[in-house]
Amino acid sequence: MRVSSPPAVDISTAWDKTLLVEYLGSIRFKGWTYLHYDQLKRRYQDQAKVNALWSAMKLSRFLSSMYLKPLIGEKGAGVIHVNTTATIQKSCSMVDRLTSSAAETERYEKFDAADYLMDELRLAESIASSQLEGAATTSRVALEMLKVGRKPRDEGEKMIMGNWRMMKYVSERGDEPFDTNELLNMHRVAIEGIDDEKYSPGELRGAADAVVVADHEGNVIHTPPAAEALPEALQKLCEFINIPHEQAEDEKYLHPLVKACIIHFMIGYLHPFKDGNGRTARALFYWYMLKCGYTAFRYISVSTLLKNAPAKYVRAYLYSETDGMDLTYFVNYQCDIVSRAVTEYIDYIKEIIATRTELRQWLYDSGIFNKINSRQRDVATIAINQPGVLFTAMEVSTRMGVSENTARDDLKKLTALGLMRAMKEGKGNVYLSPKSLHELKKWHGKTANPPSAQDW
């Protein structure tokens, strides 16, 4: 993946009134995204005009940027700065309205089992973040492993299990001050036991570690700062993390979402570890959002969308790095991803509500409604919203706050009524949810041999 580095800014052309008017009329007022030089040059054939327009754009951005201290790039890399775009503003507004703890309380007040209803989403980020880093395990098999609690069988499953441990760790960490030792601990939680020689859990890379980022063709696209620069750079990053920018009443203010994206970028840019940097960066993003009260991020998976277009994710990094550490490109892209992820999360909630209503009506019409209690109806609803997923008595016990025997009895009763199917797994049973309400209706009242675990 090749990205053209911008030319030096020519201040003399940047002040040209005609070019400023053209920049405003042809680019800014048309609502074009925050263009990198590599994108701008594809829109014009006249190279001199491209360079002059670029100078005008950069002048505008210089004047409106927020310069971030103590975050300072390597010598020659540029001072780290960020601008505001419409995409960033809209995403910040969306997370304020829809993902805060207050919004969650209002949204779930009618849900008797809200935490369990959202359980699949809670696991999705751990799985997708590892898949983004190369774990070949499918989402369905990964969900089965995490839900059943079996030991991982290969490196891909170990990556997912490790990432689940790290996500659990950051969700419980709270808002204590952050330091380099804590970063090392996070990495250790996620990576330990996968391939310790390859990953070196909880250790910064050394001078002998030739760590670079390459594209799918093997081209080096990023060489991180030298290993000896890491202690000071990470110290500065921790100082930045601990500054309460969201409380500032002057131009030092940063919305938590913007700051979380910046933290994400800096871990990727510094690449402090031999491997596992991307997973650690995304986990830090989540920790900061949760720390600032955006509790819905327990259920919102950014990596699920990132893995669908990994080249765009990498390009956002490259645009920022090649343009003098202007992090606007990366923050803008991440905010767009966050907006889409929040929308999917809200759509999932709406789907649960609609399915609950439809299931309740069908249970009533079929005469089953009065044969099961409200907890069992909730488990049936969860099963419909997690098609083809395995359930265990231990999992239901934990999520529903009942004993394991009660949970097992619930699952057996739902199976007897044709609402789930039992499958042999080891010495006990697990329970398969139907793929849809339509399939559930087909199951009901029919006698069939339950599928084996191998068939699932």
Residues assigned a catalytic role: 271
213 labeled part of a ligand binding site:
yes
81 is in an annotated binding site: no
Cβ atoms of 432 and 421 closer than 8 Å: yes
Pick from 161, 99, 127, 137: which is nearest to 282 by CA?
127
Q: Is residue 220 helix, strand or coil?
A: strand
Cα–Cα dist 130/295, whole Å:
22
Is residue 276 marked as binding?
yes
Residue 422 marked ligand-binding: no
Tokens at 196, concatenated: 């310790």
Tell me which amino acid residue 172 is: E
Cβ atoms of 274 and 211 within 8 Å: the answer is yes
Do 277 and 297 form a contact (C-beta atoms < 8 A)? no
Distance CA 255, CA 451 (A): 51
Determine if residue 279 is labeled as part of a ligand binding site: yes
The answer to the question of whether 96 is labelled as a binding residue is no
**Annotated binding residue at 405?**
no
What does the block give as tokens for 313? 């994710």
Residue 432: strand pairing partners: 390, 421
> What phi, psi does 418 have (nearest 5°)?
80, 15
Closest C-alpha to 313, from 286, 297, 331, 300: 331
Contact 81, 66 (CB under 8 A): yes
Those residues with Cβ within 8 angstroms of residue 227's Cβ, 6 or more apart along the chain or in another chain? 204, 205, 206, 207, 209
Residue 219 is labelled as binding a ligand: yes
Q: What angle do CA 272, 273, 274 make, to 5 degrees?
A: 135
> For residue 301, which of 99, 96, 93 has the smallest C-alpha distance?
99
Spatial distance between the Cα atoms of 241 and 71, rounded to a whole number of angstroms: 10
* C-alpha to C-alpha distance for 46 and 44, rounded to whole angstroms: 6
282 appears as a binding residue in the annotation: yes
Instruction: Confirm whether residue 215 is marked as ligand binding.
Output: yes
Residue 154 annotated as lining a ligand binding site = no
Hey, what amino acid is at 5? Answer: S
Q: Please state the length of the chain.
A: 456
73 carries a ligand binding annotation: no
Is 448 assigned to a binding site?
Answer: no
CA–CA separation, 108 vs 296, rounded Å? 11
Binding-site residues sit at 213-222, 275-282
Binding-site residues for ATP sit at 213-222, 275-282
